[in-house]
Amino acid sequence: MKKQNSSRGIKRYWFLPNLFQARSIFFLMIIFLLGVTFSIYADPVDVREAIVKVYTVNNSPDYYNPWSMRGPQGVSGSGCIIEHNLILTNAHVVSDHTFLQVRKYGDTERYQAQVIAVSHLTDLALLKVEDPTFFAGEPALSFGELPETQQEVLVYGFPMGGDMLSITKGIISRIEHQPYVHSSSSFLAGQIDAAINPGNSGGPVLVDGKIVGVVMQGISSSQNIGYMVPVPVIRHFFDDLQDGNYDGYPSLGVSLQDMENPGLRKYYQMEEGQSGVLINQIIPGSPADGNLQTGDILLSIGDYSIGNDGTIEFRTNERTQLTYVIQQKQIGENIRMEILREGKKISLDLNLFRSLKKDQLVPMEEYETLPSYYIYGGLILCPLTKNLLDIWGAQWYQSAPKELIYPLLNSNIPEREGQQVVVLLKALAAKVNQGYQNVNSWVVDKVNGEKIWNLRELIEKVENSLDPYIVLEDKWGQQIVVDRVEAENTEQEILQTYRIPFDRSEDLRK
């Protein structure tokens, strides 16, 4: 069981550990060109026969020693059989996996499985089993519609406390945006009060025998507060896969501020009865760049008016974040909006050509990806990521160095495309770095007096320099000076001493 705090640092969530992604593009093309049916009518089936237990072995990277892995560990989760001989589960049940098996309800045999598609942003994954006998005679669950609040639901899965199938009953308490722990991103989520526990993750939430959501996380400090990935988010996942590739979610590329203060609204020439949110930052290279301006008021988006608190009414008397409208779109689609600029209304159509992941200075959780690193003079340098912050544990926002946390608290928006926060993680003790061996988590701003914007730029400046010394400098002017010739002459010796195969990660060797 894993605990982690939400982005607000208030709630504590649990979810199963992370496992690995496999790809089968040809298989996806066949399946999703046929289409996964979201049918509201289907013949009655014994739901229990469609529930499976997922057994995984994962192996995640060690971000404190970025050339190493943490070692394999085994966990389990739940899933369900859907059309076209597919199994739907959570991404966090299968991310970073090295071996994967599934077992049907009432059966004793485990079958080897593969991941064919995964959305880490929305914590969803699809599995396939090569052995055709696995699906023989088994029913496939169909999909229903987004349930109403107070509607009764059943949760199926294999939680801790036993090995047999568990079925719990509850109601939909509310539907609104919540942070998904697996990606630290906010999406539409359904809160349910049915008893769920570690191991339930990936199991279906059903109404009248049809899937309305997938269990993903719960709040450990509360009683019976759990969350599901609702069917509109699942539908977006399948629609995205129609071409055989998963692209993710689009980004508008702005930072927004609520306008609940009357003085703020008057200052920006808003009329009585108008509502909206203030655009206070534009992300370089985003769809908003060159189309929207700081100081614009976003009044409406799609068919929805925006409240001064940044919400829209997605169903009668039910409100959620305005990003709901953007998250209904696929990358490459257009979105209509109305803005107020210097007191004048303007209508715009923007193409959402850019992925949400590209608009973050500090990348959030990453999976199936090895960390980037570069070693020079025994100094280990790497980009700042949420995965790196996790080495400080579940309470990283309290225990990690404040300099590393600051970019996340300060909207996490880059000044330019491709920008990274480059961190001197630690030093591998050697003569060349004597006196720097207690330096750690130190943010590098300049190399030999020149500003660097990412790790590749740092490497380029270091390796193209003919100066006798390499000077690393932080934004306060503190310096680390390395003898260039000595660093080059002792490079292989340091790597051999610490049994490190390469001085840089594979992505930087290409």
Catalytic residues: 92, 123, 201
Q: Please list, in sequence order, all residues whose beta carbon lies within 8 angstroms of the beta carbon of residue 178, skipping any fewer than 6 positions away.
A: 186, 187, 189, 191, 227
Q: Identify whether the C-beta of residue 381 lies closer than 8 Å to the C-beta of residue 444.
A: yes
Q: How far apart are CA 396 and CA 382, in angstroms?
A: 18
Lookup: tokens for 151: 């509607």
Q: How far apart are CA 459 and CA 442, in angstroms?
A: 17
* 322 DSSP assignment: T
Q: Identify whether the C-beta of residue 211 lies closer than 8 Å to the C-beta of residue 83.
A: no
Q: Identify whether the C-beta of residue 352 lies closer than 8 Å to the C-beta of residue 326.
A: yes
**Side chain identity at residue 115, one-letter code:** V
Neighbours of 369 (CB within 10 A): 15
* DSSP-derived 3-state class of residue 240: helix
* DSSP-derived 3-state class of residue 236: helix
Cα–Cα separations (whole angstroms), residue 477 to 348, 404, 446, 473:
45, 17, 9, 6
DSSP 72-132: -EEEEEEEEEETTTEEEE-HHHHTTEEEEEEEETT----EEEEEEEEETTTTEEEEEES-G
H or E segment to which residue 230 belongs:
strand 226-230
